[in-house]
Amino acid sequence: MAPEELKQTSAEENKLEPKSEVISEEKPVAEESEEIHEALEDEHKEDELSGLTLPQIMERMEQLINLNNAGAYHKKFHQLKEHAFKIIHDESEEHKNQAADTELPEERVHYEHPSQAKLSGLISIFREKQDAFHQQQDAEQAKNLEQRQSIIERLKNLYTNSEPGVNLFKEIREIKQEWGNAGQVAKSEFKILNNNYFHHLNQFYQMLDMNKEYLEQEYSHNLEKRQHIIERAQELEKESSVQKALNELQFLHKLWKEEAEPVAEEFREKTWEVFKEISNRIHERKSELNAQIEAEQQENLEKKNNIIEEIKKLASPEKEPNHHYWQTAIKTMEELRANFLKTGNVPRKISNQNWNDFKETIRNFNSAKNEFYKNLKHNQQHNLDEKMKLIQTAKDNMHSEDWDTAVPLFKKLQDDWKTIGHVPRSMANKVWDEFREACNVFFNQYRAKNNVQNDNWKENFQQKKALLEELKNVTDEEGSVEKIEQIKTSWNNIGKVPREKISINSEFNKTMREKMKLNKIHDYELKEDGLSEGQITDKARKIKNQIGDLEAEIVKLENNIGFFTNPSRENPLLRDTYNTIDQKKAQLESMKQSLHQIIGGE
């Protein structure tokens, strides 16, 4: 029997029983308890949801959808849906504000949140589950209606056609238990059905006036129930958790109305007054709960204000920031932003102000970052002009055979190249390739003329040691890949080292792998010159093996998709898998191109 029906059942039963006017005194306290319980429960759920991220909310929505009786959790699903909508709306507005700060054209400010499509899909699936649940519920309610009608008929027969020797006490207990355990029926049917049941129950009790012994047993049994409820309520006064005490008190009021049926008249008013007084004392403890909530909200406010201050410091660094600083600051800011959103509620009266301060701080951070990169573009253009001058000087002297003059000149050109800052990303590879080609032409001619086989091995070691130290200092800032390629090419152009120093090659290779991983590039993407035929063959073999492994991964992912009933890209559960396959296929194509270039001698 559903909670709503039980409340109605008890109320109707008490109205029909003799001298039940005291029920009117119970109702306000019980209703107040229910309202307080529902309000506290809603506040608790709101606090719980405010600490969830958007992916966590969608994960809970998927869990609800996968339940067999998903439709029964409509209210919980609706709360998750509304909270998800709010996060998507806030993040979309923040994105638009950031786009506006960067002064993008209006047609590029349009933004659709990446989780919007998945959320719509989850809502559509849940509606289907809810419709199916309602159909099943209608069928069950029809079945329950027949069962309740048969119980009423049995009750009617109990006081109209009962045979001599029938144990009325046992029979009425079974009937009332069956009625209490019977399932829900449609609301349109329940009121008439319930009134009919209590009409016959009242008739039965009137018939019992002739059986005083049974009536005394019934009153004694119900009084015992009331005393147990009162004892448990007294224990709740000592419960440390106010929320738990209020929740269980709500349950005790439900038992009082549904199971602690009428008692002897001299105990009715007395027991109810005791229970009501205890209930009032427990409700007075709500101030403790409010104080606890206020303390938690004040703590959350301090945490959020500290986060705002941290973001302000990032936007106004003490030293002149560079590209590496801003890339690190962006990551830190995103972590702070996530922590802010996960932190619970703050006092309602300053909630809006706190949120506006947070958004304003984020906006100021983005403005400072954008201003830096605007100035950076101007500096990069100046650096490009300086590097173009070095390229021209290298091209003018790359065929020179005045070694005493040209060798120091090219070394100085390489040193000067390192000191010049970054150039626009679109030109970085082009100018580096031109400069490297001019330098390679000169040094290849120089080695050919001076018999590189007679290199001083100790000098080679010193050169490699210097390159190794330079490689260790490489970071993941802009232009790092260019530095790595330059160092690798220079390394390849240096001859052998003494046998006892041969370990420097292993250390260099290990450091090279770490720096490529730091800059998120693969060895097949690295441009390098000066490789021997054997080194070129080994590199081609390694790339070929990597291609085979990557193809096997793609086949495995595509096979896994085939197990789904709806393996289309529109399926929100497969969207990430399709994106992974696309990324791996793009990587595979890049590896094949690199292998083709190596085989073709490029």
Residue 516 neighbours by CB distance under 10 Å: 19
User: What backbone torsions phi and psi does residue 252 show, to the nearest 5 degrees?
Assistant: -65, -40
Min mean pLDDT across 3-12, 114-123, 338-347, 425-434 is at 3-12
Q: Does any domain span residue 583?
A: no
Same domain, 221 and 201: no
- Confidence tier at 13 by pLDDT (50, 70, 90): very low
Q: Does any domain span residue 37?
A: no
Same domain, 216 and 337: yes
pTM: 0.33
Same domain, 402 and 502: yes
Task: Judge contact between 12 and 198, C-beta under 8 A.
Answer: yes
- Confidence tier at 520 by pLDDT (50, 70, 90): confident
- Confidence tier at 601 by pLDDT (50, 70, 90): low
Q: Does any domain span residue 15?
A: no
Q: Does any domain span residue 481?
A: yes
Same domain, 61 and 142: yes
- Confidence tier at 11 by pLDDT (50, 70, 90): very low
Same domain, 205 and 215: no
Same domain, 189 and 301: no
Same domain, 58 and 193: yes
Q: Does any domain span residue 191?
A: yes
- Confidence tier at 24 by pLDDT (50, 70, 90): very low
Task: Please determine, for residue 136, whether its predicted confidence score (pLDDT) is greater than 70.
Answer: yes
Task: Please determine, for residue 545, whether its predicted confidence score (pLDDT) is greater than 50.
Answer: yes
Task: Please determine, for residue 209, whether its predicted confidence score (pLDDT) is greater than 70.
Answer: no
Q: Does any domain span residue 326?
A: yes
pLDDT given at position 45: 55
- Confidence tier at 8 by pLDDT (50, 70, 90): very low
Domain tally, the chain: 3
pLDDT given at position 150: 92
Same domain, 206 and 61: yes
What's the mean pLDDT in 104-120?
72
pLDDT, mean over the chain:
79
pLDDT given at position 118: 86
CB within 8 A of 53, min separation 6: which ones?
Answer: 87, 338, 341, 342
What's the mean pLDDT in 487-494?
83
Q: Which two tokens stand for residue 351?
A: 């909630």
Q: Does any domain span residue 548?
A: no
Same domain, 151 and 274: no
Task: Please determine, for residue 157, whether its predicted confidence score (pLDDT) is greater than 90.
Answer: no
Give the pLDDT confidence of 74-97 residue by residue, as tens digits.
888 898 888 888 888 888 888 777
pLDDT given at position 15: 35
Task: Please determine, for residue 166, whether its predicted confidence score (pLDDT) is greater than 60.
Answer: yes
pLDDT given at position 34: 44
Same domain, 384 and 524: yes
Same domain, 223 and 136: no
Q: Of 530, 547, 562, which one is at a domain's C-terminal end?
A: 530
Integer Rg of the chain from CA: 40
Q: How many Å apart are CA 534 and CA 532, to the nearest integer?
A: 5
Provide the residue range defining the domain that includes 432.
379-530
pLDDT given at position 254: 83
Same domain, 337 and 319: yes
Q: How many Å apart are CA 535 and CA 196, to the nearest integer?
A: 95
Q: Of 160, 195, 210, which one is at a domain's C-terminal end?
A: 210
Give the pLDDT confidence of 435-456 residue by residue, as tens digits.
889 899 888 888 777 654 455 7
pLDDT given at position 600: 64
- CA max distance for the chain: 134
Q: Which two tokens stand for residue 158?
A: 């109990």
Give the pLDDT confidence of 215-274 residue by residue, as tens digits.
777 788 888 888 998 999 888 888 877 778 888 888 888 888 777 767 788 888 888 889
Q: Of 182, 210, 238, which one is at a domain's C-terminal end?
A: 210
Min mean pLDDT across 19-28, 38-47, 441-450 is at 19-28
- Confidence tier at 184 by pLDDT (50, 70, 90): confident
Q: Does any domain span residue 181?
A: yes
Min mean pLDDT across 37-46, 48-57, 382-391 is at 37-46
Task: Please determine, for residue 3, whether its predicted confidence score (pLDDT) is greater than 70.
Answer: no
pLDDT given at position 306: 93
DSSP code for 496: -
Task: Please determine, for residue 19, whether its predicted confidence score (pLDDT) is greater than 70.
Answer: no
Q: How many Å apart are CA 493 and CA 452, to the nearest integer?
A: 10
